[in-house]
Structure 1
Amino acid sequence: MTKLLLSASLLAAAVLAQQSPNALHPAMKKIAAEVSEDRITSTLRKLESFGTRDTNGVIETPGHGVKAAREWIAAQFKSYSPRLEVRFDPHAVKKSARIVKDTDVVNVVAVLKGKTQPDVEVLVGAHYDSMNMIFKSGTPRVFDADATASASVAPGVSDNGSGTALVLELARVMSQYEFDKTIVFVAFAGEEQGLLGAGGYAETAEKSKEKLEAVINVDVIGNDVTGNGIQAGGRVNVYSGDPMDSSSRSLARYMREVAERYQPDLRINTVFRQDRFGRGGDHTPFLTHGFAAVRVTTPTEQLEFQHNEKDTFDRVSVPYIASVTRSVGVSLGSLAMAPKPPSVSPLGRGDGRYDAVMKWKNEDLEPDLAGYSVVMRSTTAPFWEREIYVGKTEQFTLKNVSIDEVVLGVRAIDTEGFASLVTAWTLPVRRNFTGAPGAPAATPAP
């Protein structure tokens, strides 16, 4: 087991270095370096060998089907470290359009308890189920649930063996380290039938008031070239839900900043949209239940090979999957070591009325808190344009800055240089004037 510790001299340097885009933490570098293409290859081939991982579980023989797959995934988690608390997470679902009979969808969960903030969790997940979508004869595009559930071949290597391999590989590597916060690794079931496993998990998390700070859903990262020959070009998409300064958007910006610092050859393409056009994924239920959640996916899906028998190992790029795994790993690890994000108060203009005054609070201060950074950008800029390290104060004034023209936020930084998510101050949504012809109905801010 490796502890994330630095010498006293390095601690001070790390705090200063945090203000630089080139600051790298030795433990995060090690996590990235320990990701193994051979292990990812082995995982993908094993997942493919189950034949089908359809959630309905119609076909179940030794070594074949979704039950065998989830038992193998649980055994893998257990083999990595005794510190991983492994369990099955079942959720009862009724017969529906894609569920052929009442059944349980069963997630596989591995929990790596945090040392100083064990009640705060960061989660990385991917659905392990697969599907070979079959349509009714003579009626194109009319889904045949029974035939689909009974298909014996649904390899699902890219969708979503690739994401499952990432989750397993990060559990293997990161379980050898200690983190401040708890890291949860989840293989979700029932995604292809309507985000069922993730939906059950997210609902339970909200009801039990879990402090789930971030959810990174990884779905379809197997391909680095599309069916029409377009290359990924050294990038991966990270989707985040509106509004512009939602907690999910803050998580996406965080991943871009951290991951590109450690792995500049893989660009984080932040897509400011909840998901791909007209589609959804397992991060969606977490958004619905009020958690910060993003989707990580390749920009170069091979759509013609999804949800059929052709989604096989020979069509995926293991080096690309490994590269995405490193980026997600350093993002997850950095967030698991970071302080809690502060809460911000309404902005002020100062005594002279021409300044920008920020105030914030951070309850239950961590003993290794070094201070805070104030960040700023124009209202039309997608990313933070300026950062000022202000120390341990909980108030800062930006002279001659109009709060009408900028977005301001703050984040906490610890003595090892790990930074929290940014908390931005945003105005609540106002209702449109009811007398305005054609005015759209206002919706509450999430």
Structure 2
Amino acid sequence: MRFLIIAALAATPALAAPPPISQAELRATIERLVGFGTRHSASDTTSPTRGIGAARAYAAARFAEIGAKCGGCLTIEQPSVTVTAPRLPKPTAIVDVLAIQRGTTDPDRVVIISGHIDSRNSDPLDAVGDAPGANDDASGTAAVIEAARVLSGQKFPATIVYAVLSGEEQGLHGGKLLAATAKAKGWRVEAVLNNDIIGNSRGSGRARDDRTVRVFSEGTRATETPEQASKRRYNGGEVDSPARNLSRFVAERGKAAGLKVEMIYRTDRYSRGGDQVPMLEAGIPAVRITERQEHYDRQHQNVRVENGRRYGDTIDGVDFAYLAKVTRLNVASLAALATAPGVPTGVTIEGAVTPDTILKWQAVPGAARYTVWWRHTTSPTWQFSRDAGAATTLTLKGIDIDSWFFGVAAVGADGASSPVVFPGEAGAFGG
């Protein structure tokens, strides 16, 4: 499987000779963001040099600059909503900065890369004190902007949205706003890659890992109904949600990025959250990408030294070579998703009390053929495949439905493959 998908990725015309990921560009973005002092969502919105307003203006200006170099290929929008919440006791404008690269032939199909631009220190209500947020999450924002710089000069069938979100630290408000925006625009969002804390390679326990990145994905869908849950519990699908199969898709691109992708079977870290959560709650497939080793002295802390121990999320804690690898993983995954046909819909399976398994699905615009995948029920990745050609059904003779998990992917004429879709409601993208 790995060889087949990576070979298809390399053969995709849209991916020919993209500009390399630049550590200098990533550093320049984080330096500017840290330089705004604080990016708390309730901080200054009028100063050109300090606060969330200046930071958002910088992100919009960077997108505009990148868009100008590709002949206006990026449309910049800044949806907003006023929020009052426990961490925002006064009405506060939450503003997302979006750069939209419209697809050429399937523009209503959308893939998104996101990171949050806001920051916080030890006190979640402190909108005045310094909160540099170099890694949490200027690193994610830098990856989003760098992805736009690298991919904007190319054309893709699907639309790519580069999303810089606000209000994450105060209640995931930017993710909620993005989900609402996607719904209002009628986007058919196939995937969200949410990048949050992706630039550090040294953990609190002194372990160092600059070769591994974690991808968190929900198991059962957040939108699952009681009836769907009953069917899923009986027939399977606990590890085949759209987000889980999206994580497998991302993991297959790890080798090309110089990274081992560790799939974590959780929506997020234990009892913690990120902007992928409201996307999942809206029925949108989303994963969280996060460094392998987190340094908790550098998260949500005032900058200080106590008993010889340094605290605070400052730029010296960012490993830019590692951040470049994680950004490369995002770029490869985004490009592959936006190039491939959309995921199959209406995937069904039958074969009870027979030695054969039959899969059926609806035709996908832009698909030249389809691949049926199956694996042992205890395997984390797809293991075996069969080409179905241009047909929308395939019978697997002698492969019984009871002993395996199955799925279907759509493949373009250039060999670019969509994520695999597990049959039924448990695995349906956008369902």
TM-score interval, normalised by the smaller of the two chains: 0.7 to 0.9
**1:126-178 Cα deviation digits (max 9, x unpaired):** 000011122xxxxxxxx6x2xx1221x11000000000000000111111111
Match of 2:142 among 161, 165, 175: 165
Whether the 8 Å CA contact 2:14–2:339 is kept in 1: the answer is no
- 1:272 matches 2:265: yes
Using the size of structure 2 for normalisation, the TM-score is: 0.87
**1:205-264 Cα deviation digits (max 9, x unpaired):** 23554211111100001101102211225110000001211111111011111333x22x
Using the size of structure 1 for normalisation, the TM-score is: 0.84
Q: Secondary structure at the match of 1:224?
A: coil
Instruction: Quickly say closer, same or farther: Cα 1:179–1:97, change in 2 above 3 A.
Output: same
Q: Which residue of 2 aligns with 1:248?
A: 243
Instruction: Quickly say closer, same or farther: Cα 1:345–1:180, change in 2 above 3 A.
Output: closer
1:159 and 1:403 map into 2 onto residues whose CA distance is 45
Q: Return 389-398 or 175-184, whichever deviates more.
A: 389-398
Instruction: Quickly say closer, same or farther: Cα 1:21–1:181, change in 2 above 3 A.
Output: closer
1:220 and 1:274 map into 2 onto residues whose CA distance is 15
Whether the 8 Å CA contact 1:50–1:64 is kept in 2: the answer is yes
Instruction: Quickly say closer, same or farther: Cα 1:123–1:270, change in 2 above 3 A.
Output: same
Give the Å deviation of 1:66: 0.6
Q: Which residue of 1 aligns with 2:297?
A: 304
Instruction: Quickly say closer, same or farther: Cα 1:270–1:370, change in 2 above 3 A.
Output: same
Q: Which residue of 2 aligns with 1:421?
A: 419
Give the Å deviation of 1:196: 0.5
Q: Secondary structure at the match of 2:361?
A: strand
1:225 and 1:27 map into 2 onto residues whose CA distance is 35
Whether the 8 Å CA contact 1:56–1:100 is kept in 2: the answer is no
Give the Å deviation of 1:382: 1.2
Gap runs ≥5 in structure 1: 1-15, 135-142, 430-445
Q: Secondary structure at the match of 2:170?
A: coil
1:20 and 1:320 map into 2 onto residues whose CA distance is 24
Q: Which residue of 2 aligns with 1:281?
A: 274
Q: Which residue of 2 aligns with 1:149?
A: 127
1:382 and 1:186 map into 2 onto residues whose CA distance is 30
Letter in 1 for 2:413: T
Give the Å deviation of 1:357: 1.1
Give the Å deviation of 1:345: 4.1
Q: Which residue of 2 aligns with 1:85?
A: 75
- 1:220 matches 2:197: yes
- 1:343 matches 2:341: no
1:283 and 1:19 map into 2 onto residues whose CA distance is 29
The aligned runs of 1:189-268 (5 Å cut-off) are: 189-243=166-220, 244-260=239-255, 262-263=256-257, 265-268=258-261
- Percent of pairs with identical residues: 35
Whether the 8 Å CA contact 1:18–1:418 is kept in 2: the answer is no
Letter in 2 for 1:392: A
1:427 and 1:281 map into 2 onto residues whose CA distance is 25
Q: Which residue of 2 aligns with 1:181?
A: 158
Q: Which residue of 2 aligns with 1:30?
A: 17
Give the Å deviation of 1:393: 1.2
Gap runs ≥5 in structure 2: 221-238, 304-311
The two structures, once aligned, show a CA RMSD in angstroms of 2.2
Q: Max radius of gyration: which structure?
A: 1
2:181 and 2:159 map into 1 onto residues whose CA distance is 17
